[in-house]
């Protein structure tokens, strides 16, 4: 099993995904354990002094004015976890919770939080045991961290609340810890607060969304090329010299991908034959410009994610010179903005893909294809309602593109009077990525059927296109024919795209695509 070593200098998106999706084992480095011990020494020294220190010897948020005596401090830390574990709604996905816990451990291990080494080790032990706290959809405003989600995770460390075991069954967390031989933690000064105060949930979801979108953008370049072929379009608009004079990197990459897929096609360049047209429609001709802009958005999001992955987000923080200082680094704005930006780009990619699908189905714009790609139009409806489904998904994605980060609701008696809503931005982006996969799958389904229908005119697709079609058919995505129960075909196309099999099939011919 892959092992991820947690040190003091942050982590990588690849490590996040390895832990969240690949169940990678976690180890704390000696460097991290040393940093944890040094920072804890600073907190213990401050806790012994009479002067109040936020998070160490005071209440929290709007209650920070109360000084807490020594005999109540353990209760204070337990209480913040219990009271903040106030989430509601459906359970959050296991991979999100694992990413959330791993990223909090990453910050704890930085030596800037004042958490004891044994607490960090317990966090690693819980993840390694396959125990996943029950976290709910609603409860984070994306400021002061993802408070409720992280609180539910901290509750599990205390042996309280519910969690999912390695067998997938939800049971009391105390029972699961006992079975794994893990002792519940007894929180001390600052530790409850330090376990709750980070952008870990939204950041984990950002890392996974970036990975998914990078694959989807390559898939969308392939389906755009297939649609161009099926519509007898011209590949001349993909020439490198045209994209060099507008040097957006993503645009060049998308154009190069499409051109690679179309290499050797017998379908392209026939746009003057039956129904003369000077240019292809925007949804075909501008595919690299739209997909490329989205690719560049993903690149920007990667930059933001890399900075956040290198950060220690907590309040207050322990500095190397021994100071413990309050700060605002828990504010999720940097992450929230790019989460919203990605949802906008994903919605537009879905929108242009749907326009190409609609063009394939319209006999007045498809340049010789049968209405709705039906076998016997009128008796058969073909893919008419598949496009309805795609349109419904696109419409939903447009709603999901409305930015969450533009909203803010004051909380904690106006002490926390501006929040990022980054968790909400991340949640809707996950839905958008899921929907985009389905949209691309429907375009694939329509384009491959249309290309096969062109065979009646003895026009042969590019070798890469043929490979995509053959792999799709082998995966249960059926080709042309009379009407049939369509949902299973669309589900097979979705699974084919989601698994990465489309890209693999094409790259076997083209070599690596961007």
- Catalytic residue, chosen from 54, 138, 337, 445, is 54
Half-sphere exposure of 229 (CA within 13 A, CB side): 38
Asked if 137 contacts 415 with a C-beta cutoff of 8 angstroms, the reply is no
Asked if 238 contacts 259 with a C-beta cutoff of 8 angstroms, the reply is yes
**216 SS3 class:** helix
Strand order in the sheet with 170-172: 132-133, 162-164, 170-172
Active-site residue flag, 54: yes
Beta strands at 3-6 and 25-28: parallel, antiparallel or unpaired: parallel
Q: What is the number of other CB atoms lying within 10 angstroms of the CB of residue 91?
A: 18
- Within its chain, how far is the Cα of 325 from the centroid? 32
Asked if 510 contacts 263 with a C-beta cutoff of 8 angstroms, the reply is yes
Asked if 390 contacts 223 with a C-beta cutoff of 8 angstroms, the reply is no
Asked if 15 contacts 90 with a C-beta cutoff of 8 angstroms, the reply is no
**In this structure, what are the phi and psi dihedrals at residue 377, rounded to the nearest 5 degrees?**
-55, 130
Q: Residue 203: beta bridge partners?
A: none
Block residue for tokens 């906008």: 344
> Peptide bond preceding 316: is omega within 30 degrees of 0, i.e. cis?
yes
> Residue 211 and residue 302: Cα distance in Å, rounded?
9
CA dihedral (353, 354, 355, 360) in degrees, to 10, reads: 100
> Residue 149 and residue 139: Cα distance in Å, rounded?
7
> Residue 65 and residue 54: Cα distance in Å, rounded?
9
> Residue 170 and residue 193: Cα distance in Å, rounded?
26
Cα-based angle 17, 21, 23 (whole degrees, multiple of 5): 100
For residue 182 the two structure tokens come to 């893990």
Asked if 357 contacts 387 with a C-beta cutoff of 8 angstroms, the reply is yes
- DSSP E strands in 319-471: the ranges are 324-325
- DSSP letter at 416 equals B
Helix (H) or strand (E) holding 27: strand 25-28
C-alpha distances in angstroms, 128 versus 124, 457, 498?
6, 59, 27
For residue 96 the two structure tokens come to 């999100």
Asked if 425 contacts 368 with a C-beta cutoff of 8 angstroms, the reply is no
Q: What is the number of other CB atoms lying within 10 angstroms of the CB of residue 414?
A: 8
**Rg of the chain in Å (alpha carbons):** 27
Residues marked as catalytic: 54
């Amino acid at each position: 099993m892959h092992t991820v070593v947690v040190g003091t200098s942050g982590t990588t998106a690849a490590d996040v995904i390895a832990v969240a999706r690949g169940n990678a084992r976690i180890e704390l480095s000696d460097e991290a354990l040393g940093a944890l011990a040094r920072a804890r020494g600073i907190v213990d020294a401050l806790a012994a002094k009479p002067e109040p220190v936020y998070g160490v010897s005071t209440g929290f948020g709007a209650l920070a004015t109360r000084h807490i005596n020594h005999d109540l401090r353990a209760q204070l830390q337990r209480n913040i976890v219990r009271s903040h574990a106030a989430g509601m709604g459906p359970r959050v996905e296991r991979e999100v919770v694992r990413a959330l816990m791993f990223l909090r451990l990453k910050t704890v291990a930085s030596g800037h939080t004042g958490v004891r080494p044994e607490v960090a080790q317990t966090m690693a032990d819980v993840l390694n045991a396959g125990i996943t706290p029950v976290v709910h959809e609603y409860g984070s405003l994306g400021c002061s961290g993802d408070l409720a989600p992280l609180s539910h995770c901290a509750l599990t460390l205390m042996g309280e609340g519910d969690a999912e075991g390695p067998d997938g069954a939800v049971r009391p967390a105390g029972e699961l810890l006992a079975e794994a031989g893990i002792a519940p933690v007894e929180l001390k000064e600052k530790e409850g607060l330090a376990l709750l105060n980070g952008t870990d949930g939204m950041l984990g979801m950002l890392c996974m969304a970036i990975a998914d979108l990078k694959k989807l953008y390559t898939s969308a370049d392939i389906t755009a090329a297939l649609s161009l072929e099926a519509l007898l379009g011209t590949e001349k608009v993909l020439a490198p010299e045209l994209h060099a004079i507008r040097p957006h990197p993503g645009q060049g990459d998308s154009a190069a991908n499409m051109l690679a897929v179309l290499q050797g096609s017998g379908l392209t360049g026939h746009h003057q034959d039956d129904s003369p047209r000077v240019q292809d429609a925007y949804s075909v001709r501008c595919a690299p410009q739209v997909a490329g802009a989205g690719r560049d958005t993903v690149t920007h999001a990667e930059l933001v994610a890399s900075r956040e992955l290198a950060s220690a987000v907590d309040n207050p923080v322990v500095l190397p010179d021994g100071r413990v200082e309050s700060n605002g680094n828990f504010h999720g704005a940097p992450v929230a903005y790019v989460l919203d930006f990605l949802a906008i780009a994903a919605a537009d990619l879905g929108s242009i893909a749907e326009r190409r699908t609609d063009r394939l189905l319209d006999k007045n714009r498809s340049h010789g294809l049968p209405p709705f790609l039906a076998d016997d139009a009128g008796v058969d409806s073909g893919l008419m309602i598949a496009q309805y489904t795609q349109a419904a998904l696109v419409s939903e994605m447009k709603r999901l593109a409305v930015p969450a980060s533009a909203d803010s609701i004051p909380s904690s008696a106006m002490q926390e009077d501006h929040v990022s809503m980054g968790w909400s931005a991340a949640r809707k982006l996950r839905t958008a990525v899921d929907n985009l996969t389905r949209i691309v799958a429907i375009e694939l389904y329509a384009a491959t059927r249309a290309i096969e229908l062109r065979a009646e005119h003895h026009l042969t697709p590019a070798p890469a296109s043929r490979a995509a079609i053959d792999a799709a058919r082998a995966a249960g995505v059926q080709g042309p024919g009379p009407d049939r129960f369509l949902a299973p075909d669309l589900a097979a196309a979705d699974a084919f795209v989601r698994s990465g099999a489309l890209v693999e099939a094409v790259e076997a011919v083209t070599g690596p695509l961007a």
